[in-house]
Chain A
């Protein structure tokens, strides 16, 4: 990841501002339309789930410039997700849904360099989340 890409991820996230809840809601729409079976993994109230998602994503994006901090968030998160029955393949679906939601809400602001920056940023999140369960043991 280049410093420019890091900055793009953070600035575009900033730009969401008040549209963050809309992006969170859109994320779950995108996710379930891509894989309806994933719906069953969520047992809590979806409105609450969207808030949790938005908060966690904000923490992660803020931590992104400092790897130690980022890892602390993503690994713990990944360890929890394995308990939910999430597999490596699901992370691809999640990534596509996240990029889809960002594109939908940001519109023209989500240009090609921003798209690429988010792709790499998400890959970093996903890889370190997937590392979480292994690090803590099965």
Chain B
């Protein structure tokens, strides 16, 4: 009976997939697509469709290749794509870096040459199981149009980021495969069996499989093998019941369990080492075994290259799961030895041998492990970097290995271990560039991981004593400045940066990372913004390198500089644009700073409840990623927001949590705003004042000019004390309109000058600092009233209550006398601000993705809360006097 099937069919038929195949043909030929992603549940036929596409491509003259992700290939970066790699992969350069881009490019050229420019069609089966480096290479080759990628992804599994990006760009087609309809199942059975099937049997197959093609495949071939399905007078009958399992996996297990010992050993060999050459398998398996396996639909033999594989990934995983570990190990080692003896070619074969030995639990050549670690580092896969470098015996780990391992440990949050590994790496002989990166990484770990800025400075100083050649020495100087900036000494950092003349690109990038925030902190905001912009451009041109911060940190710096310059709206816009990118690239430190900066901008804008949410998010991210320093900053912000909302208990709790970690030098003085406002809202005004004075003094001694201005201005806000002289000095020393507005406000409060208070309110409102605008207007109302100008006083009073209403429930001493308007919700606030600028409801609706009706509803609610009845009334209440 089996032979009857085999003569009718060379292959198991494919049914109901013609439109999908046409999608592929069109995508391949159009030139607009770089690939195709096939989604679907297990057994729906993704692998088969992908192979069918591959055959079509081969028939139309495309070279083709197939890569499969698995537990074994995932052991080594690029393990899944060994077949693509050219021989002679090169090693790391003098600076300890493997030029991965060059490796990818070399691979591209080799492929292009080998196939004379014809596009290679690659099937990546179970793409979600591919290692990050393999995906990066495939993504690169697809983007360069060297290959057309067909990837299969199981429903529910995430599409790997690297593919998702291309897919979102619209350069990859997508197919969602569904199970077969009843009609298609009938056709499939007819073609598979070669004739009609008795109605009851057809019905049973439908009931059992519900059209899942792999299920049908396993069930039909199983039933043929067991003799349950038989042909009599040209019609197929079921003589026996179908196996009563509801699980596909059980079915596959039953089929594998029924194999003869010889057949089973072939299947095991393939499960571990596929694909294998037909010629070789014929020498190890008795005649007829391969044919029977092919007929049973368990293996496929590619006609083009005589490569033998298991028919479906599920077969492989079932066989591997059932195989004793010792047996697997014996097979893997024997195959590795065979391949090593047979091949003189050092390229792909070396990697396959390495993979098999690694899977067998054997020891590997440290050079292979190192190369793998470099590739994983390129793909930011720090877990694999750690596993591979840790597999190198301690006495064979060189400086570069220590650098890779140390950096991975730092990135994974194991700071103590990172310190040990990096310190040991510094003892080993190595090139100067590697020594530099070891020192820089160790200092970074000391500062950001262990929160020991003094230790970081000592590490930097020790390195400067021994590394003296010009560009490297300069980078160390820039790094010293970085430690100084981020441990709270912007003045000193800028003095150190003066010593750098120009430097190479890498030095300029490090310069910008340290210099931009230092400049912003001392109040040179325009220079700070420029430094962040050029730093980012330089960093992108530099590419991804070892021992350097992520490019997103320049964006973080620019946001901070814009905020200090009082450009709150621009800062908010930039941080929003960047936040999605860093979230999708998983750069925790940048994510933390983005969230914290969103909170900081919101506080200054008077969106206090919003600020509270962002700071809470930043604190959570910092906690999860074990960044104690940024956590200190985020919890300070959280306490400040809670206190400003009048929530004394929540503020105290945030401070309490913050107390568990060491203070963070970077922006430390500003952190004490939280202590002051928490004391104030807890009715300890004297303590609040003391906190502000102490922090302002600390800020003054270290050059934190913008922070000092914030601290002193808040002193004025809560106690009506006099700090106006120093605030004016600061306004003169800084180029920030926000700092100037604070000084103007403080002076006007001191002199009780109603017009100047109103002018300061205008300044604040123009910057978008609504809470401060509300307070200044309230002060103006009081001063007008004292001067007897009741009309002006009433107008100012009205304006201050509207301004206060958009501050999301802020409770501050400056708002004490403001007629309590009901606070607006976040959405109402957003809409009111746009409406006050004269924007029509229709335009607001478009901008905020709402319906016009919703916009109008919000506006009506807001009018009621604010006691106005029209847009004109609103604009008048919020008008900018300037």
Contact = CB atoms under 8 A, between A and B. Distances in A.
A2 B16 contact: no
A107 interface: no
Interface in B18-42: 18-19, 21-22, 25
Contacts of B197: 1-2
Contact of A88 (B18, B52, B191): B18
Interface string A123-138: 1100110110010011
A4 B25 CA distance: 38
A124 B199 contact: no
B184 interface: yes
B18 A3 contact: no
B179 to A, nearest CB: 16
Contact of A127 (B56, B191, B235): B191
A120 interface: yes
Contacts of B187: 1, 120, 123-124, 127
Interface string A83-98: 0000111010000000
Contacts of A130: 18
Main secondary structure of the interface of A (DSSP, over half): helix
Interface residues of B, number: 30
B196 A134 contact: no
Contacts of B564: none
A123 B184 contact: yes
Interface in A98-129: 119-120, 123-124, 127-128
Nearest to A64: B196
Contact of A3 (B13, B16, B25, B235): B235
Given A1-B186, A127-B15, A127-B16, A67 B191 contact: yes
A87 B22 contact: yes
Interface string A66-82: 01100000000000000
B191 A120 contact: no
Contacts of A65: 195-196, 234
A1 B190 contact: yes
A22 interface: no
Main secondary structure of the interface of B (DSSP, over half): helix
B109 to A, nearest CB: 29
Contacts of A128: 191
A6 interface: yes
Contacts of B15: 127
Contact of B202 (A2, A89, A124, A134): A2
A60 B761 CA distance: 89
Nearest to B58: A137
B8 interface: yes
Interface in A14-59: none
A5 interface: yes
A1 B196 contact: yes
B186 A127 contact: no
Q: How large is the interface on A (under 10, 10 to 19, 20 to 34, 35 or more residues)?
A: 20 to 34
B19 A89 contact: yes
Contact of A138 (B59, B194, B199, B235): B59
Nearest to B57: A138
A89 to B, nearest CB: 6
A123 B196 contact: no
Max count, chain A CB within 10 A of own CB: residue among B52, B186, B235:
B186
B427 interface: no
A6 B199 CA distance: 11
Contacts of A67: 8, 190-191, 194-195
A87 B196 CA distance: 28
A89 B23 CA distance: 11
Contacts of A89: 19
B198 A3 contact: yes
B469 interface: no
Max count, chain B CB within 10 A of own CB: residue among A65, A89, A123:
A123
Contacts of B16: 127
Interface in B161-197: 183-184, 186-187, 189-191, 194-197
B716 to A, nearest CB: 75
A138 B19 contact: no
A63 B21 CA distance: 28
Max count, chain A CB within 10 A of own CB: residue among B16, B59, B196:
B196
A46 to B, nearest CB: 27
Contacts of A123: 183-184, 186-187
Contacts of A3: 196, 198, 234-235
A1 B518 CA distance: 79
A134 B54 CA distance: 12
A120 B186 contact: yes
B60 interface: yes
Contact of A2 (B8, B19, B196): B196
A1 B184 CA distance: 10
A92 to B, nearest CB: 9
A121 B738 CA distance: 80
Contacts of B195: 65, 67
A120 B18 contact: no
A68 B8 contact: yes
A131 B16 CA distance: 11
B199 A88 contact: no
Given A120-B183, A120-B187, A127-B191, A6 B196 contact: yes
A68 B184 CA distance: 19
B191 A2 contact: no
B22 A88 contact: yes
A65 B233 CA distance: 12
A124 B197 CA distance: 14
A71 B415 CA distance: 69
Contacts of A127: 15-16, 18, 184, 187, 191
A123 B188 CA distance: 10
B30 to A, nearest CB: 15
B839 to A, nearest CB: 47
A4 B52 CA distance: 33
A120 to B, nearest CB: 5
A138 B202 contact: no
A137 B235 contact: no
A88 B19 contact: yes
Contacts of A134: 21, 52, 55-56, 59
Contacts of A131: 13
Contacts of B18: 88, 91, 127, 130
Contacts of A87: 22
A130 B52 CA distance: 13
A91 B187 CA distance: 15
A67 B187 CA distance: 11
A137 B57 CA distance: 10
23 contacts: A1-B186, A1-B187, A1-B196, A1-B197, A2-B202, A3-B234, A5-B196, A65-B234, A67-B8, A67-B191, A68-B8, A88-B18, A88-B21, A88-B22, A91-B18, A124-B186, A127-B18, A127-B191, A128-B191, A131-B13, A134-B56, A134-B59, A138-B25
Given A67-B194, A138-B60, 11 more contacts: A1-B189, A2-B197, A2-B202, A3-B234, A4-B199, A67-B190, A67-B195, A87-B22, A88-B19, A123-B183, A134-B52
For the complex of A and B, the 5 pairs showing the least CB-CB separation, nearest first, are: A88-B18, A2-B199, A88-B19, A130-B18, A137-B59
Interface of A: 1-6, 65, 67-68, 87-89, 91, 119-120, 123-124, 127-128, 130-131, 134, 137-138
